[in-house]
Amino acid sequence: MLKLRGFLFALGFYPATLLYAIPCLLIGPLLPFKARFRFLTAINYFYIAWLRWTCGLGVEIEGREHLPQTGAYVVLANHQSEWETLYFQLLIRPQAVVLKQELLKIPFFGWALRLLEPIALDRSQRREALRQLLEQGRDKLEQGIPVLIFPQGTRVKAGETGRFNKGGTLLAQASGVPIIPMVHNAGRFWPGKSFIKYPGKVQLRIGAPIATAGRSADEVQAEVVAWMQAQMQALGA
């Protein structure tokens, strides 16, 4: 039954993605960024609804009130699944996500993704990647656009912690904006690159803003990591 549900999800997901990419590539470049972001990510509402209908997977959010209504901020979240890449685009609108450069080369998906103006890094050049993150990230924040970063750098299996990079903390500190930490357990239901999705509710916790002004990067990073690790343990993430 789980394989059948996964097949039904794929049956709607992939054709819809290919079809929607066409108007995105044609119309997207003509729109200003905020309108373009809303247009290109509108299909995510279908993805999340289709996921709930075919696989029985929903979401439960705690702490939504901690997301600022105005002003720029840096979001630091754990990375376990494809789920958060879809859902977070609906939760934080608009946003600039930090991702690996290779994703932009995927036909249709990558082409449309490029129109969302992500901060695409070449991870093989660590020093240059950090410079690029700080430069482009600060530019986005100055425009009032929140920046989303997965500090673990890549998907980490549920139950594992991984290593938390400091780039997001350095960006927030250098820009004088708060950090919003977020933790979820999506990997328990939709493991990375898995065809099978398990029914249930992804639990997403959004922490209170963490101030960066007048504090060292090490101090802020320690607070962020401590909160995230505690929540991951509590959620079994």
We report the CATH number of the domain holding residue 114 as: 3.40.1130
Q: In what order do the strands lie in the sheet with 57-62?
A: 57-62, 200-206, 179-184, 74-77, 147-149, 96-100, 119-121
Per the structure, the count of domains in the chain is 1
- Least Cα distance to 26 among 112, 104, 86 occurs for 112
Task: Tell whether the torsion through CA atoms of 45, 46, 48 and 52 is positive or negative.
Answer: positive
- Least Cα distance to 148 among 75, 83, 41 occurs for 75
Query: Any idea what DSSP says for residue 81?
Result: S
Q: pTM of this prediction?
A: 0.93
- Which domain, by its residues, includes 54? 2-235
User: Residue 180: exposed, middle, or buried by beta-carbon count in 10 A (0-12, 13-18, 19+)?
Assistant: buried
What number of CA atoms fall less than 13 Å from residue 133's CA on the CB side? 31
| 108 close to 14: Cβ distance less than 8 angstroms | no
Q: What angle do CA 171, 172, 176 make, to 5 degrees?
A: 120
| 36 close to 114: Cβ distance less than 8 angstroms | no
- Least Cα distance to 173 among 227, 234, 221, 105 occurs for 221
Whole-angstrom Cα distance, residue 189 to residue 158? 9
Q: Where are the beta strands (DSSP E) in 94-199?
A: 96-100, 119-121, 147-149, 179-184
Bridge-based pairing state of the strands 200-206 and 179-184: antiparallel
What are the Cα distances from residue 177, in Å, to 64, 116, 126, 133, 169? 19, 22, 24, 15, 10
Number of H helices, E strands in the chain: 8, 7
**pLDDT (tens place) for every residue of the chain, 237 residues total:** 888 888 899 999 999 998 998 899 999 999 999 999 999 999 999 999 999 999 999 999 999 999 998 889 999 999 999 999 999 999 999 999 999 888 888 887 788 889 999 999 887 777 888 899 999 999 999 999 999 999 998 888 888 888 899 999 999 999 999 999 999 999 999 998 888 999 999 999 999 999 998 899 999 999 999 999 999 999 987
